[in-house]
Structure 1
Amino acid sequence: MRYSSLFILLFSIFPFNSHSQEKPWMLGPFERFTDNQPILQKDENSEFDDPMSGKLVKWESMATFNPAAIVRNDTIYVLYRAEEKLGEKEIGGHTSRLGLAYSTDGIHYQKMTKPVFYPDEDRQKKFEWPGGTEDPRIVETEDGLYVLTYTQWNRNVPRLAVATSQDLKNWKKHGPIFLNYKDGKYMDRETKSGAIVTQLKNGRLTAAKIDGKYWMYFGVPHIYLASSEDLIHWTPVEDYTGQLAPVLNPRPGYFDSWLVEAGPPPLLTNDGILVLYNSGNSQNIGDKKLGNRIYTGGQALFDAKEPWKIIDRSNNPFIKPELDFEKSGQYKDGTTFIEGLIIFKGKWYLYYGTADSMVGVVRSETNNNE
């Protein structure tokens, strides 16, 4: 497979030089541009007729965070996790639904009044209720189908699932991605954070095929790998013993010493597969300058033909909690939890959740195409 034309296009959009990033293959650098403010926050007045409880609920009264993003008809759409406040429960004890916001300039965002994706009286309710639908990532196929990966949370086992849509508002749920794999071998094991590999083609980010298959990085506290022929049914990569084979692990001595977790959809470039990932720190064995449980962002490069083969990895976080709203909220240790990556008007936009409470965005200003 040849990537020369893709590389030229990617090279013109973000810099491959050691002066702008820690390593020449990394994406960025990213800069804050929203006056140090979040772009989305909770709304204690938003109401929704919940089909599960039969009640009128304040569906985003607790928090809005952990966003996916996609560009459609020159407009940015952000799918974000919204939590309904249920008393004084801890993290994971509320109910999550997915809201939709949009922007035509990348700075100002308008929310839709109702969630577009949520637990319902359907075949998935046993997996999604009462905890809800969480932490989306989204990609588009070349023919315009939107594929959503998300976590189903029934407050028992978090399961990675997939849904599809033609318009971002009406969704078809396909259920847990490993439901039919080896008689449900992984159905009772925590799976989450599915990031499908994309490529930049004719100015659009679309799901990429490598050797005839789609690939997805997923999981926490290690990152694993799965492949698919249709983006619906997935086969995990296992080792010779039949166990999930981690392709990225936490590292003692670094910012990602506690855990690693798949971030936004990775990019297929001439250098390889560029994976942006979330990382947690354990101060006693990790980065002494970061506190315990601090979530930052790292980057890793995998082989373009063997997606399980790591080539290189960043030694320092390229994004970390620095602003007040990134270090206050439900998760007081601080997070910049990256989940959405788009290209909009020649610039990269990276969307992230802050302290399990709000949505932020950073942008790569470097652009030689304008």
Structure 2
Amino acid sequence: MLKRWPDNPILAPEDVRPSRPDWKVDCTFNAGVARMGGETIMLVRIAESVAHAGAGEVRVPLLEQLGDGWRCTTRTFRTEDPDYDFSDPRVIVSRADPRRVHLTSMSHLRIARSSDGVHFTVADTPLLFPADATERYGCEDARLTVIEGRCYINYTAVSDLGIATALAVTDDFLRVERLGIIHAPDNRDVCLFPRRIDGSYWCLHRPAPLHFGAPEIWIARSPDLIHWGAHQHLAGCLGTGWESNKIGGGAQMLETDRGWLQIYHGVDAGQRYSLGALLLDIEDPRIVRARLAHPLAEPTESYELHGFFDNVLFSCGALIEGGELRVYYGAADRVMALGTMALADLWEAMGV
């Protein structure tokens, strides 16, 4: 249902300067989006890898502890090493213990600014770069939510300790205050609501159960954005098709006259990522008022079908401009793209 922007992708690795001279930019994707100060701000996930490796080698970036601090370094693997599985380009997995992995790239978060929401200028330096043990493998997939005049940044902190969700806050996108981990491993795809409801802050989150169940969307509430409780399952996988394997929150929550709109992702058995839409009750967001029966968008374009990880649409940010929904999404884990549609058409499709 999304109409692709004719000049997609709107941001590609070729548009971004590496953070280090010996690294290269592999991916520019999964950006959080907000409107502040008359600008559209994207906080883009920039995935970088080591620019040069020897024949038959893979060099991975990571943080190592040095005294009381942390510094960037690299580790080298031989591709013929039978102790590791190199089949997934995103990770190197220990065959003896599949829980022991290394990412082939390290992600940080970088600002891109636009006056029209389409043409973006990317900063040359990171806004948030991995800084401690919980971010040893990178900072990923930020969502931006303006709450009470401040912009909160929730992002995925990835390390050998697991996949957690961290929170930071900024007033100007020049200085950022890290507030720490708000959801312990394994948990990601956190989407904050832009205002209190019944005196509490609210969020969607996506725990990944180890023993039973599937990764699905939960909802929680907090008195202070740091301590979260009253956890409740909100929406699960459906059927045997596009959202049968796992689902997770996507863009920050959008307030509309019909309810709280959530643009989420659904994954099928073949690891194909599509976008869907949920509508939650405006007074009690634990109530699902409507759910789009078919995908809002699924991979069809060449930049969505082929990239660092094929067949992926993944949104971390959306905006409503007048009567138009703008969905900013990562495509094939490599580039940023834009899709639009009239809200009236979405409401009709959702039956609300």
Q: TM-score range by the shorter chain?
A: 0.7 to 0.9
Contact map agreement 1:57 1:84 (CA 8 A) in 2: no
2:145 aligned with 1:139, yes or no?
yes
Contact 1:263 1:339 in 2 (8 A): yes
Root-mean-square deviation (Å): 2.2
* Per-residue CA distance 1:159-211 (angstroms, 9 max, x = gap): 01100001123211111114xxxxxxxx3x301111012xxxxxxxxx12210
Q: Structure 1 residues 67, 141: closer, same or farther in 2, change over 3 A?
A: same
Query: SS state of the match for residue 142, structure 2?
Result: strand
> Are the counterparts in 2 of residues 75 and 104 from structure 1 also a CA contact under 8 Å?
yes
Residue 57 of structure 1 and its aligned partner are, at CA, apart by: 4.7
Q: Which residue of 1 aligns with 2:26?
A: 62
CA contact (8 A) 1:218 1:262 kept: yes
Is 1:39 the counterpart of 2:7 in the alignment? no
Partner in structure 1 of residue 118 of structure 2: 107
Q: How does 1:142-291 map to 2 (within 5 A)?
A: 142=148, 144-178=149-183, 187=184, 189-197=185-193, 207-219=194-206, 221-231=215-225, 233-238=226-231, 245-282=232-269
Looking at structure 2, the residues matched to 45 and 210 of structure 1 have their Cα atoms a distance apart, in angstroms, of 39
Deviations 1:47-92, CA, capped at 9 Å, x for gaps: 435xxxxxx553x611111111111222111111011114476315
User: Is the 1:213–1:227 contact (alpha carbons within 8 Å) kept by the matching residues of 2?
Assistant: yes
3-state SS of 2:134 partner? helix
> What CA distance in whole angstroms lies between the structure 2 residues aligned with 1:195 and 1:344?
20
For normalisation by structure 2, the TM-score amounts to: 0.76
Which shifted more, 222-231 or 40-49? 40-49
Question: Matches of residues 331-370 of structure 1 in structure 2 within 5 Å?
Answer: 331-332=309-310, 334-344=311-321, 347-364=324-341
Q: Residues 169 and 38 of structure 1: is their aligned pair in 2 closer, same or farther, counting only changes over 3 Å?
A: same
Deviation at 1:345, TM superposition (A): 6.6
Matched, 1:30 2:2: yes
Shift of 1:229: 2.5
C-alpha contact (below 8 Å) 1:254/1:316 kept by paired residues: no
- Post-superposition offset of 1:365: 5.1
Structure 1 spans left out of the alignment, 5+ residues: 1-28, 50-55, 179-186, 198-206, 239-244, 283-291
Q: Distance in 2 between matches of 1:260 and 1:106?
A: 27
Task: Give the distance between the partners of 2:335 and 2:126, measured in 1 at CA.
Answer: 16
User: Alignment partner of 1:325: what SS?
Assistant: helix
Deviation at 1:30?
3.2
Q: Secondary structure at the match of 2:333?
A: coil
Task: Report if aligned partners of 2:299, 2:313 keep a CA contact under 8 Å in 1.
Answer: yes
Q: Is the 8 A contact 1:31 1:365 kept in 2?
A: no
Q: Give the corresponding residue for 1:97.
A: 108
* C-alpha spacing 1:193/1:366, structure 2 compared with 1 (3 Å): closer
Q: Which runs of 5+ in 2 are unaligned?
A: 51-57, 61-88, 92-102, 208-214, 345-352
| Contact 2:18 2:25 survives alignment (8 Å) | no
CA–CA distance in structure 2, aligned partners of residues 152 and 168 of structure 1 = 19
Q: Contact 1:224/1:237 (CA < 8 Å) preserved in 2?
A: no
The structure where strand makes up a greater share of residues is 2
Q: Answer with 345-354 or 248-257: which moved more.
A: 345-354
Offset at residue 45 of structure 1 (A): 7.3
Amino acid at match of 2:135: E
SS in structure 2 opposite 1:230? coil
- Partner SS for 1:306: coil
